[in-house]
Structure 1
Amino acid sequence: MSLKPSRLRAAAAGLAVAALVAGCASSGGAAPSAADSTLIVYTGQAGDYQVNFNPYSPTTIDGPGTIFEPLFFFNMARTTDPVPRLGTEFAWNDDGTVLTVKVRDNATWSDGTKFTAKDVVFTLDMVKKHKTINSTGYAGTAKALDDTTVEITFPEPAFSQGPQVLGRLWMVPEHLWSKIADPANDVVAQPVGTGPFLLEDFKGQAFTLKSNPTYWDGEPALKRVRYVALSGNQAGADALAAGAIDWQTGPVPDIKNVEKNYPGYKAVTIPLFQISLFTCSNTALGCTGPQTDPAVRKAIYHGINRAQLNALAFEGTAGPISPGFALVDRDKQYLTQDVAPMEPNAAEAAALLEGAGYAKGGDGVYAKGGEPLAFTVLVPAGWTDYITAVDTMGQQLQAVGIKLSSRQVSWNEWSAARGNGKFQLLIDSLYQGPAADPYYLYSYFFSTGSTAKVGESANPGFARVSDPAIDAALAALEKLDLTDVEARKPHFAAIQERVADLMPYIPVLTNGTTSEYNAAKFTGWPTADDLYAFPAVWQRPDHSQVFKSLKPAGAP
């Protein structure tokens, strides 16, 4: 019987991944038992991994949640109570200036050293000292009252800081990290953490985490997680068809019929991340190029045919997006901007450009001062949905006199350019914060405190936004209880108005993030009905909550 080309690709992918996984088999060549099954995951890594388990590095390949833990896990997918990790309970004083946290007394670092409140204080002090790793804008002063109690004092009411400090800072061991001079850039090749997993082995093509036998919550039922590098989304889909990977987040053909096309597998789609064209937007911080002109950014925004783009690049799984970046469904109570048009408006794009002094040349491309509006968009090699999206937008924008083309680069090159600002345009998604609230996205991507000059590492203020009006609104929100909706509304309205006016991130669509997982081999997966974590293999620390919950099928 002959195999069709798609089956040949799937078989080849299966052989390639099988070779990578072979090292996980038990000694003597015997296959692992059901209880020792290895979860094989594909995060979209195209090309070899570069060792980096520093949870504070923008190029980390893993560690947050799995090896290095937060104090609590906050579910970004829905509003639920935070889940204790290294912390056991916390409380604010009445005016939101003092946060008291109790930490557990039964946790140890993987080198056997006991975890205490002093490690928490060290971590918080380190983050505060080094701006490039302080992505949450932490500005508190921490002290250990005893081995299990930390008191964090803020100069002003800081209710909004709670989920960030508790859920997005990764505790590191003082006895080791105090010797690291540059915690933003040290790759931490031999990580020591308190988490449910340890690093077992690393190679460029794959690395393996193994369960932590001394984990404070008991050794996980899932014994190994194997991260494999393939050649992109197509290779991921082929490996899925061959049954060679167990979990990936990304597109597959005919995504609505995963269970039929991939027997034993299921899929879940959650709309949360907002696909955008990131621009290096701020000349005051060193950005150069015509994308620094808001008129150009807005012209691109109006030139996109989002309905066509959704069909061609995302199989209809994406949804509408607001130019103010409040989520259309989750953040309805704060939404003040109309959603982005699904159809293009060439007349509006032309009016914006001509009003800003651009003139269309004989080639149909607008230019000013001899510089045409011709852009290369950086996209990771193998990310087929994003590549298709950029190529589609390139065709669409010809109608409004803008030339756009994709340039595929390695993930490492793309990530480095995004961090240091050495780009004009790239495609990525804005992610949400630890709580179901728009404040966190704004503080991450639009705050002066989260960005840096071109050439320096911004994390994650990649568009180099620095705007007094946005900063003032964020400062006001910082002081308000997250439940005080009416008091917060005018500040969110001010941010959305300014964000839509500046448009440093050009809104494309709200991504319907789809993950495919092996339900026949493992149980305990998050589903739409039991959404205990955001189910994306690359989302940290949510992926660690999934790993902690999974059991090999047939295990007690």
Structure 2
Amino acid sequence: MIRNAKWIAFILAGILTVCLILPGCTGPSGKSQADSRPRDELIISVGKGAASGGYDPCTGYGIYGYGLFFSSLLRFNADIEVHPDLATGYTVSKDGLTYTYHLREDVKFSDGTPLTAKDVVFTYLTAKSSGSSVDLTVLASAQAVDNKTVVFILHKPWSPFASTTALLGIVPEHAYGREFGDKPVGSGPWKLAQLDKEQQLIVVPNEYYYGTKPSFKKVTILNLEEEAALASAKSGRLDVVMVNPEYSKETVEGMHLVALPTVDNRGFNLPVTPESSRADGKVAGNNVTSDFAIRKALNIGIDRKKIIQNALSGVGTPAYGRVDALPWFNPSTPFKDNQVEEARQILEAAGWKDTDGDSIREKNGLKAEFTITGRTDDLQRYNLAVALSEDAKKLGIHLKAQAAPWTDCKSQALHTPTCWGSGDYNPLDLYNGYYSQMAGVGSNNPSSYSNPQVDAYIDQALAATSMEEAIRYWQLAQWDGKTGINADYPFLWIVNIDHTYFVRDGLDLGKQLLHPHGHGQPVIANMNEWQMQQ
């Protein structure tokens, strides 16, 4: 009987867990949870993975600027400029090697412990040693001069460091340990109430937060597949639900669609070198895309709006570069697309001709065809690959669209173009994407792009001692009137996707920053400012 009782308890617990997630589930009274939920509570779904745990800034959490539990030395304003947050301000030495930050006096972690300069130093040294997604390779030392003053010494001038300090959340030294990522303690507007990994995350206001206090007493973030999330929204279960573009035409009673602009771009790398074998055994380069004429013809010949319509139901804006709409974007570089006749002429002049009537050009016995991939767990990327393949046919270029696991896509990208997602608040993204020495380092510079003049501009941007000076060189790297990234076409950027959400009528999401890459989750960056209108 005891054994049976345990099994019955186990089954009942499972049913209760399912009720937390399935739309329209009712409790013992038969009353819908949506009907009984207080107005000062929210249930949302903002993309798969939002309740996966691992909330540790020192190992990469929050690097796109939407950490729930943490605050940073600086923050980004609506113009993606750095402003004070934990720090009241900072100074940079004339040689660009010393950054000094002065901290606020009124900051406590969610456990009530004061945040001090020692916590900042601990965070940065821990993040540096972890090899996280935050690039701190240039950090030579960090010192707490007193409780409220931190001094960073760099190995060399590195202008993106200020942006980095707006992306790394500060952790408490006293509470940090192996399980910290699942039991986070921070100085941000929210604190952890409950985590059921891969199912749901429940957060409540951090009573010690020094900024705008949340108006909601509890927010439950569900980890749902897209179809389940939409069904749950239609049942009245959700207050905010992220949907991919193919679902944006749906109608959800009591909710309205919000489409938010982003710098969350999608595009395909185009390897610029001929095929060869590397010392590590990997194949790098592509004999077709290494021809400049192919890369230029694709960039100017495709119809981005048509591809966006076919792949993403028209949700998004055409992208021509990696950093469109960001402060360091060079506005003089965008080129026109859908120039079909000009693209065909470029290919003809370069010797790419259809000699056998199969509608695929060839040159010296080499067909103008190659494989492109989209990741199997991201329908948007595969849809873009298919839509691009269809549109490129008019140019006589055959792109074989395939779906593959993301690990395979990345490992083969030096040879096989794949659909990348990019877009963040740090100009270092240009360095990682195009600097010659970054080629093949992790997922960086998958096109093996190299231009000495671009490298020189990037070096000058990195060495700048002010953001204004750095921006000038970042822009020159894209186009200086004669050469640049956007004239060499190492990538085929297609779209800055809109982030689309169904939002409960009456719920105001506040002023959203231009969203970075993040698969829908950046919407929660200002969740402490959300309001339910009466």
Distance in 2 of aligned mates of 1:203 and 1:445: 36
With over 3 angstroms needed to count, the CA separation of the structure-2 counterparts of 1:471 and 1:404, relative to structure 1, is same
Distance in 2 of aligned mates of 1:210 and 1:160: 32
* Correspondence 1:471-490 to 2 at 5 A: 471-478=455-462, 479-484=464-469, 488=473, 490=476
Higher mean C-alpha deviation, range 136-145 or range 391-400: 136-145
Which runs of 5 or more structure 1 residues have no equivalent in the other structure?
1-14, 181-185
Report the AA paired with residue 484 of structure 2.
R
Residue 384 of structure 2 aligns with which residue?
A: 389
Residue 34 of structure 1 aligns with which residue?
A: 38
- Does the 8 Å contact 1:271/1:512 carry over to 2? yes
Report the secondary structure of 1:133's partner residue.
coil
Shift of 1:157: 4.7
Shift of 1:221: 2.9
Report the AA paired with residue 39 of structure 1.
I
Shift of 1:208: 0.8
Deviations 1:45-66 (A, max 9, x none): 6xx9754334455798999521
Which runs of 5 or more structure 2 residues have no equivalent in the other structure?
1-17
Q: Aligned to 2:261, which of 256, 259, 270? A: 270
Shift of 1:101: 1.0
- Does the 8 Å contact 1:266/1:518 carry over to 2? no
Distance in 2 of aligned mates of 1:117 and 1:229: 35
TM (norm. structure 1) is 0.72
Distance in 1 of aligned mates of 2:494 and 2:92: 38
Report the AA paired with residue 335 of structure 2.
V
Report the AA paired with residue 237 of structure 2.
A
- Does the 8 Å contact 1:101/1:150 carry over to 2? yes
- Does the 8 Å contact 1:74/1:167 carry over to 2? yes
Deviations 1:81-114 (A, max 9, x none): 6251x32332334554432212234444456654
* Correspondence 1:122-521 to 2 at 5 A: 122-129=122-129, 133-135=133-135, 138-139=138-139, 141-162=141-162, 164-175=163-174, 188-203=181-196, 205-217=198-210, 220-232=214-226, 236-252=229-245, 262-278=253-269, 286-288=282-284, 290=286, 293=290, 295=292, 296-323=294-321, 325=322, 327=324, 334-344=330-340, 347-348=344-345, 350-351=347-348, 354=351, 364=360, 373-381=369-377, 383=379, 385-399=380-394, 400-407=396-403, 413-414=405-406, 417-418=409-410, 424-433=416-425, 439-447=427-435, 453=441, 457-458=442-443, 468-478=452-462, 479-484=464-469, 488=473, 490-494=476-480, 497-520=483-506
Report the AA paired with residue 202 of structure 2.
L
Shift of 1:74: 0.4
Q: Aligned to 1:19, which of 7, 19, 22? A: 22
Report the AA paired with residue 38 of structure 2.
A
Distance in 1 of aligned mates of 2:499 and 2:54: 26
Shift of 1:341: 0.9
Distance in 1 of aligned mates of 2:154 and 2:237: 50
Larger Rg: 2
Distance in 1 of aligned mates of 2:221 and 2:75: 23
Report the secondary structure of 1:394's partner residue.
helix
Distance in 2 of aligned mates of 1:171 and 1:448: 33
Q: Please tell me the root mean square deviation across aligned C-alpha atoms, in Å.
A: 4.7
Identity of aligned residues (%): 15
Deviations 1:94-138 (A, max 9, x none): 554432212234444456654321221233234445555343764
With over 3 angstroms needed to count, the CA separation of the structure-2 counterparts of 1:546 and 1:32, relative to structure 1, is farther
With over 3 angstroms needed to count, the CA separation of the structure-2 counterparts of 1:350 and 1:246, relative to structure 1, is farther
TM (norm. structure 2) is 0.74
Number of residues of Structure 1 aligned to a counterpart in Structure 2:
502
